[in-house]
Structure 1
């Protein structure tokens, strides 16, 4: 039991650097990295395609989780990326004095491994000789002899039935044998020979009896990669195994190849691309020697200790520390500063050409991305509108990469047809939403530029605010204010994850704010704007349930001299204006129709289009119209709000929704009229607090005397 616990502890210590960060990979993608409690890091691997070469192939036998070297079938105890492999090797046993006895000779042959000459000992127990010969080098042989006159518990030397000898170097083909010379009446009748890791064997008197049952001991093997030294395996060759950019190569001390390690300040698996990750020394006081931990600043591959204001020094415990800065520098300090400045100027002079070339390269790359991402299209559109892009902040690619933790999947807060939205935190701790276009989809570039043009000229509290953009990356990025409370669709449709019910008062407030924003877009903006995709999923809610219209990728600017545009039909089924769908003529009344569907969703709590309903009622508009025709409007109201709502408000909102949903656009009200009517409903005090069991709704239709009653 004690040996097993020690093995598990060593396994943990060997691989602790790799497991310190959840973002560091141990094995190749889609490959197993554990067999029971044993970690299997690349270049070792379980299964085809998961290891560097056949020599590193291991097999995990189920159900006992026994890890074996596939080449030799030797059990593996642990694997270390430091170039060590702990295995279990058998014991050679000789009780009759003949090498033909079964078990008296144990042989192993390794292609990429050698027994560690400093971590193992050849051990003999009994009265005889234990020997080890390297099959690959016949002259490379060691022996140890025991004597039968002393027994000392816990010790092992040449005079007490136990002997140990140090290992030869470069031993890959092993032949371990035991020779028995015990007398017939000797205390022991058997001799045992075996390899064992230093400190893993302690001699006991009972070990020299023929009933000794120990069959194997842990042995440390050195492993390496490649067929030559570091200077031979050039880094530009495909066979070079140190794949991480932050890795270094070291020649093996006990083999013909080399081993890879992460550079100082990094940890992980150097045999994988991006396998070595920066260590944040400032998170662990034991990794840095700063006098004050709050003044430790992490850097890529290292860290710095910053002295408080008014002090100078390196801020380190074993350095100059931090001392008060004198008011007047002495002559020596002036000379030192002058020398440093002179050297810096000289270095800057020599490096100016290099940095000029680097800046030119970076400039060309950014110019390429800028052109591909529609930067010139944006400039052309802005010039046509006599506007400047200075109103919108331009973010750097590095700034947004840091804000989203390199666009980690845990930062994704939404995905749609135009791209993916990430949550980001800027250096000033401002939380933003970053919209990233789909890679390789050129059609999305125009939509992003269109959304940038539309949002950059909008200033309304109920329209999501555009903070800036970034066009110097592989795909364009838009940066918005972050809205904390999700979208309206989740709140009124997803009852499982949103147990809190939005009250009717709040729903009416949301409807009023949406109508106000659309009215602004249609009539108060510098150039009229048609959203073209109004739906609950595009209406965001902040912590106070204030509505924010988002997703302007499908929107269109309407010149002042035109009342409609002929465009390709864009929108979402269930919200799409039927007149626009049939004629392709886009007007502001298309948004009115979509808003009418949103009103029905607020009233009923049901989705605009659902295939779980009857075929004749899949569209909420049809279902609503059917309920009205059968005098069953109460059946379609959301039961979560109908019991405590305001009956007259339900009636008037339903009336307004039906007007917005008329087939002919010219018969629908404008969004300004809708906003005024909804605002009047909110301000009207005589409709609050009333309840009744009988409600009459009157709707304008082609027949002036048509009345629906429930």
Structure 2
């Protein structure tokens, strides 16, 4: 019996195949319309025979054509296809200019080729439009399940847009590259490649590229960007798509995309009312299924049947009296995975084994205990995730709150320090165009958050930091160290005053920052330290020449004279000292630090009740009267001159108690005609008695107790310029003396004596004429 059954099996299989072929053949209408183009099957409703009506049930568009695949005997619209012969001789189906790869009746989709949109760096336009279908009532919708909008490139932002109809849509993604090594094959998560989902009922779209930045690092290996809507499962990213033109070379720049299709725009309920007109589920044992993507419906064969529901008798049972039944449970691969498979006519059913429950069709059968444990794990994970998300939300809200609070404080300080008024002045007065209002974050970045390593000076009013701006300009940034209203006023005054000061020997003010509790001032950076450093911390360098000292003294005096008489309004510095005289690489002097500066309107006096002075340089008259005058700067400058030409500090704790004040020491030695005792050795080496006497007289005049007895800064500058001229003449005379002495060395003693007498008279007359010329 077993042998007979075995002999019957082949014949049963052959009979089954023949019956199935007969059933399918009976479902294909006559009329000569193509049912296949090349290797692609063209099932109804994508083809209709020449007989354009089927028993009066369906009205189709009908006109004879030789090039169409039933082009005029189908449902019309998007169901009309053409069969084109390619250059290679192969035939391929097309809808318009889009190649059709395959058609699924059961799933209700058509797979086509979609064009890749590209943008290369040298292109001048950055928006590319790609509209596939415009018919709102057409059968096609891009599959929101199988397709994804994909962007490939470096530093690329592309959008997918749909503005037609009532509901507009816009989405996109960003693809970045740090370098060529940061991208990897197969990964499309944002590095070199990114993807985003699309909504349902999308019939057309536009691709728009954002203007790509000129990043030379990425342009070196990636010149083009691409965007396309494609079937996600059939796409695998390759790094060569970034570095070469390989993506556009594959299939000439076309990739698969899945289009969901549906019949008409009616629901199944409405379509069934028109059984004699537009309803196309004509086969017996067929069901109407609502479209899951947009309007319309599909036709499927009923459970246990297979075939084409769009033609009469197109749905056939799997088993003709069970002869044609295929036992899915006997297949090598169990369709129920770990579940129990039960064969049914034309179908099968999966059940979980006893003691388990779940979805047997996908192998998710688990025991009750495991299910409880799994539920507990899910609850725990869900609860933990919820707590983490909650904490992250709280942290984000806190960060946002803190940032808004900081921004509010910045606006408060900006208004408090007169920022809005300053902005208006900068707009109205062209002279302030060079002046800039800096943001606090810009200066924090320039100084590495005001790191102590960047401190280059400390004064009575604050600390000065070295900073490097984003444009690589090196600046000096003054920040207060004492917070009080007086200091705020000093900073505001300083900003206003220095905005108008323009002198080669005065440090330029580049701008200010008003977003902090105390305003910050940004100066040009003077790179060679201060006069204090040159005088007292220059041990490892050559001694400073007398000419250099005289030039520095003159330039400083000339700058102070500018502040006193030529600035508008006139300015009293109020804190003249060597550490406030900066030097550039050529030892050009620049007056700085106007922390105690005061504007003096004409006819008014300035009381120094709130000023901060440096001990040793204070005008003694100012201490008694509390009145700050131009002569206060003259006194302080006299101390600077004394310090410059003696090389000694104004207050010295290394000497005896009686000699700790340099001014007191000078006063005592001047009365004894012994000033040369405290002069710097280099000064004594280059100067003579006459020069020392003139210099001593100038310093003495500056240091007089009463301000009215002191010279003006203009007179001081003129005296110093005269000393520079005297120094040059002394050098010439000395040189001539040496030459004459060498010439007279061979003369008799009497003649030599007479010549020396003549020369001494000439030298005395020369000195007197020179002195009279600049006094």
TM-score (norm 2): 0.43
Q: Which has the higher helix share?
A: 2
Q: Which has the larger radius of gyration?
A: 2
